[in-house]
Copies of this chain bind each other. A is one copy, B any other.
Amino acid sequence: MVTEKEMKQEKQEGITVKKNEDFSEWYTQAVLKGELVDYGPVQGTIAMRPHSMAVWENIQKIFDKKIKRTGHMNAYFPLLIPENFLKKEAEHFKGFIPEVFWVTHSGENKLGERLAIRPTSETIIYDFYSKWVRSWRDLPVLLNQWCNILRAEIKSTKPFIRGSEFLWQEGHTAHATKEAADVEMMMILEEYRDLIENFLAIPVLLGQKSDSEKFAGALTTTTLETMMPDGKALQMGTSHNLGQNFSKPFDIKFLDKDGKQQYVWTTSWGISTRLIGGIVMTHGDDKGLVLPPKVSPYQVVIVPIYYSDEDKKVVMKKVADVMEVFAKNEVRMTADLREGYTPGWKFNEWEMKGIPLRIEIGPRDVKTKQVVFVRRDSGKKVVVKEKDIIKSANATLEDIQQSLFKNAKKFLDENIHTVRNYFEFKKIIEEKGGFVKAGWCGESHCEEQIKVETSATIRVIPFEKDKERSEKFSKCIYCERPAREAVYFAKSY
């Protein structure tokens, strides 16, 4: 029985705007109505509800396995960082200071020194490394932590994308040589690419950051960027070689094989719950979330369909059988057996929540020994024989995963523009958005002017210099002097 109250809810609960008409409002509704998040009392804070936490747990499992396979181990470092630690690396301090939450009291007592809530943990971790590293035998140090991070965001906060608190992993490694640190940085970047492209189904551009866009204190920052439907780039993760910029002020030294004191080379790298925002923006549609099967909390939801007690008995028996078959397999499945909601209400709810595959079982299906598959991505319905359920479910999930990636890749490719001159550059950035691939002289003056005039920044300096089409990018798009390389510009989150 559906009560009047719930019938009303049904009408209200759908998403009321189209993704391509009001993207920002669509996103807000998608994450709230899809029950990923709710807003916290402090500006820019959210609660991650079970539906988003389960996505994050899946991402954690995948990435944790990857880094442990390559010798990394998890640790946990203090949340509170004395102000003088943050100040030791000047660039780093300048970069993070405006966003720091400061602790000034414990209980009734005023603290002697202000404590920062970690906006990132390089400084506190390096204080420990300076105690732990003595000899070349102690290297490399390959640690990671999964934790919360706080950065006070005042304006344009958006759940997952930009907030005052988020969850992430931060890897912090120390090596004997620059080369070893570079290898680490690039290996992690590749692990990120695999995670993001092959599990989250989001294609990315890989490359370096320009000096002005580097992590505060880094020698080299590498990045993975993708394009959102509103034409703004989203940075999905970064991996930095910090050189000896931190090991010197923090005095992390080791005795090398020749008995000489040397400073270590460090890297740091992170991905955060921002990835969930990327998933929502990339794959969602007018009905709400569309989650990639590989990280969706449930991959399959079974919805029984009946309108009489007699049918219910028959259908529920069959549902139990199918659940048993799934229980013996790896597929993450739930069955929505709640009373008092119509099948239609349930369809809407699970569509809004983005579960990749719905299996409907009604009385007629029981008789014909079949079930109905409904894909979340395409809405396509297929009748599947009972005996083929598992095989078909696995194949369909795999196909959905591939299809999501393919569509996102098509979108990304279509939104990389080339232009003949700065006039066209500005026009595209202002009117269409997306990436503009263009020549750059390498001077930060041009980069800065473009930012001031268009809000676009250099998102990626690709690793592979584009030889084939080099003529197109032979001149700096701004100053028209010879270009050093072709880079990707875009507005960004």
Residues of A within 8 A of B (CB): 5, 38, 40-42, 45-50, 53-54, 56-57, 73-82, 85, 97-108, 114-115, 117, 124-125, 127-128, 131-132, 135, 137, 143, 147-148, 150, 152, 154, 164-165, 167, 255, 338, 340
Contacts and interface: CB of A to CB of B under 8 A. Distances in A.
A233 B49 CA distance: 37
Given A42-B80, A73-B53, A137 B47 contact: no
A175 to B, nearest CB: 17
A152 B152 CA distance: 22
Contact of A101 (B80, B143, B150, B165): B80
A148 B76 CA distance: 10
12 contacts: A5-B135, A41-B78, A41-B124, A42-B82, A50-B75, A56-B76, A98-B108, A100-B106, A101-B106, A103-B104, A106-B152, A107-B152
A73 B56 CA distance: 13
A38 B73 contact: no
Nearest to A72: B50
Contacts of A46: 78
Closest 10 CB pairs of A and B: A106-B152, A50-B73, A45-B78, A48-B76, A40-B78, A102-B105, A98-B107, A104-B104, A53-B74, A42-B80
A340 B78 contact: no
Nearest to A163: B78
Contact of A75 (B47, B100, B147): B47
Given A56-B76, A99-B106, A148-B148, 17 more contacts: A40-B78, A41-B78, A45-B80, A50-B75, A50-B143, A53-B75, A79-B117, A79-B150, A80-B101, A80-B165, A100-B107, A101-B103, A102-B105, A102-B106, A103-B103, A106-B152, A117-B117
A50 B38 contact: no
Contacts of A127: 41
Given A73-B53, A101-B106, A340 B137 contact: yes
A38 B132 contact: yes
A325 B241 CA distance: 38
Given A80-B42, A117-B117, A103 B106 contact: no
B107 A97 contact: yes
Nearest to A135: B5
A280 to B, nearest CB: 17
A49 to B, nearest CB: 6
A262 B164 CA distance: 35
B5 A47 contact: no
A128 B38 contact: yes
Contacts of A81: 41
A106 B157 CA distance: 15
Contacts of A74: 50, 53-54, 57
A78 B338 contact: no
Contacts of A147: 148
A75 B103 contact: no
Contacts of A76: 47-48, 53, 56, 148, 167
